[in-house]
Chains A and B, each alone.
Chain A
Amino acid sequence: MTTRRTLLGAAAALALAPGAWAQDDKTKVGFVYVGPVGDGGWTYEHDQARRAVEAEYGDQVETVFQENVPEGADAERVMTQMALSGADLIFTTSFGYMDPTMNVAQKFPDVKFEHATGYKTAENVSNYSARFYEGRAVQGFIAGSMTQTNKIGYIASFPIPEVVRGINASYLAAKAVNPEIEFSVVWAFTWFDPGKEADAAKALIEQGADVILQHTDSTAPQAAAAEAGNVITFGQASDMAEYAPKPRVSSIIDNWAPYYIDRVGAVMDGTWESQSVWQGIGDGMVEIGEISDAVPEDVKARALEIRDKIASGEMHPFTGPINRQDGTEWLADGETATDEVLLGMDFYVEGLTGDIPN
C-alpha cells in the first residue's frame, strides 16, 4: 500500500513537473501604460523598450502589457491582475501609478515592481526616472535662440515636480540666450488628449507664440504647429521625426531599453535589489533627437555643445545665481541644485509668470 501510494505520488509529481517547469522557466514581465502604445510619444517609447527586452532574452521572457490604464483605482486592479497571473516583475510607467504600485507591492512581496518618475521605494519597489530636464535645457536654448516673437508657449500636463522642473530648466536656458523671452504655460490636466492638446497649441499660437514646448504625450501639438506655419516644436518623449525638419526641430527621446534589459536580467539571475536611479544624457537614458536643418548652423553647434557639457557633468542646467519666483534666493552664484530639491520641485524660478496649480 505504502509503495503504491509513493509510486502514485511520484507519477503525479512527474506529470506535474513539466508544467511547473515551464512556468518557472520563463520570467514574466508586466508593463502598465498610461496611454496607447501608438501615441507616438511617452508610451510608445516604453513599449519599444519592452520589445527590446523580448528581443534580448527571447524565449526566456514573456511580456504582457496593458495600455490606457487610468491613474488611480483601475491601475491597482491591473497590477493585481498581473501579479496574480504570475508576473515576476512589473513596470508601472507613469507618475500617478506611484501609490497604486506601493499598495499592490505590499500585497505581493515576491513580485518585483519598478515605478517610473516617482519618489517612493520599498523592499520590492524600485523607482527609476530620467533627467528630462537636461534635455529641456537644450530645447530651451534652441527655443530662445530661434523665437522671433519672443513668446514661447508651453503645454504642461499635471503640476508635478517632473513637469515643473522641465518648465524651469527650459526657461532658464532660453532666458540665458535671449533675455527678452516670455513663457506662457497652459496646463492641460491630461497626459493624452489629442483634441485638447491641439486646442492648447492653437490658443498659444494665436496669442503670438512661435515656439511650442509640450509635456503631453501625443503629436497633436506638432500637427497644430505644422498647420499654423511659422512655428517650431520639439518631440516629446519620442523623436516624432515624422514632423521634421519643421515644425519639429529637435526632440527629447526617452531610451528605456538598456535599463529595462538590465533590470529584467537582474530578476533572472536573482540579483535584483530595490534601488532609486535617475539617469540623464550622460547615461544614455535621455537622448537629444537630431537637430534639423531648420535650425541655423551656429545655434545647432552650440546646442550640441550644451548637450555634451551636460553629459560630461561639466555643466548643470540649474547653476546659480537663481532666484525663486518670489525673488528669494534659491542658488548662490556657482551653486548647483541638489537632487533632493529637484525631485520635489514645486516652485517657479524668477521671471516665470502665473502660479503652479495645486
Chain B
Amino acid sequence: MALPQAKQDATEARLSAVTLPQGAGWLMQLREAAIARVREMGLPTARDEYWKFTKPDTLVQADAPEAALFDEGEAPIFDRIDRLKVVFVDGVFDAEASDDLSLEGLSIERLSDVAQADIHWAKELYGSLEERGQDPVHRPLAALNTALAEDGVVIHVTGKVSKPVNLIYHHKSTSSDAILHHVIKLDAGADLTVLENGPAAARFNKVMEVDVADGAAFHHVRTQGRDHERRAATHIFARVGKESAFKTFTLTANGVLTRNECVVEMVGDNGVAHVAGACVGDGDFHHDDTVFVTHDAQNCESRQVFKKVLRNGAKGIFQGKILVKPDAQKTDGYQISQSLLLDGDSEFNAKPELEIYADDVACSHGSTSGAIDEDALYYLRARGVPKAIATDMLTLSFLAEAVEEIENEGLRDEITERLEGWLERRRG
C-alpha cells in the first residue's frame, strides 16, 4: 500500500540527510535492507495509530534537540555489584573506561569491529529479530537503527556467566545523537544477566536483539535516570526458545520523552517471558511503554507488569498486547498496567489488547488509574507516620509489584533504594 504523501515526504527528507556507515559486505546488505524497510513503512508521524499518545517528531527529525548535561553527583547504580563494565560515551564505546571484555562463558565484541569482519555469526541475527518484529505492527525507528547504528555490543553466550554485563552510558555532549545496536545470542543452556544504566545522549535510539535458545535464561535490568531532557526510543526484540526464560525490568525516572518498546516472540514450548517496568515522573515527563508478546508455542507463560507514578502534570502511556496464535495452547498470559496519579494534572493512557486464536488458554489483563488510598493514608498517619512519609510508603508499595518481577534480590534492593531516593528528594 502506498504511503500517504506527507509521510513519504517526511521519510525521504529524513533519509536524504543520512549516509550509511561503511562496513563489510554482509553488514552493508543488512543496512540497505533496513533502509528499504524504513522507506516501505515510512517514519512515524503523530497520525499513526501506534503513536497516538506519543509525538514522534523529535525522535524522527534530522537533528537531535539539545539536552542539558546531567550532574552525576550521585554514585551510579550497580556500582556495588560485581560486574563487567562496558562503557559508551555519547554512543561511542570507551575502551579505557570499560573492563577487559573477557569473561568465561561469553564473547563480547564491538559492533564496529564486527562490521569490518568478512564473515561473522552476527550476520544471522543482526536486524533479523527487528525485521520479524515489524509484523504486524511497524517499528520504523528500530529499522532506522539497524541501518545506521555504528556501535554496540555483539555478545555470544555459550555457558552460564558468573557476573552480569553492565552496559553503562554517559552523556557528555548537549547535542549528541546516539544510535546503538546490541545483539545478544544465548546458546542452549546459557545464562546471562545484562544491566544497563546511565544517561546515553541528548537523543538515544537503541535496539537490543536477544535470541534465547532452548533452556537458556536471559535477565535484563535497566535504569533510565535523571537526565531529564533526554529523548529516547528504545526497542528490545527477543525470541524465546523452548523451556527458556526472558525477563526484563526497566526503571525510568524523569525524561521529557521516553518510548520503550519490547517485542517478544515465544517460539518454543514451556518458555517464560516477563516484561516489567516501574516509572516515576514529575512535571515535564512523558513515558511510553509499548509491549507486544506473541505466543507461538504451547504452555508458555508471559507477564507484563507496569506501574507508573505520575505527578505535576507528568504523562504515562502503556500499550500492551498479548497475541496468542492458533497452536499456542495452554498459554498463560497476564498483563497489568497501573498508574498512581499524585495530583489532578497528571495523565495516564492505557491501551491493553488481547488477541487470542487458541481455545485452551488463560489470559487476563487489567488496567487501573487512581490516587493514593485515603484509608491507608489515614491509617498510617493515625499511627504517627507523617503525611509525606506515609504517601511515599504507599507509593513504594504501589511500585513494589513491578519491582518484585526482578528475580535477583540484590538488584531488587538497588532499584528500591533508587525509588526511595527519588521520592525523598521530592518530599514536601
Task: Answer yes or no: do A and B interact.
Answer: no
Interface residues of B (CB under 8 A from A): none
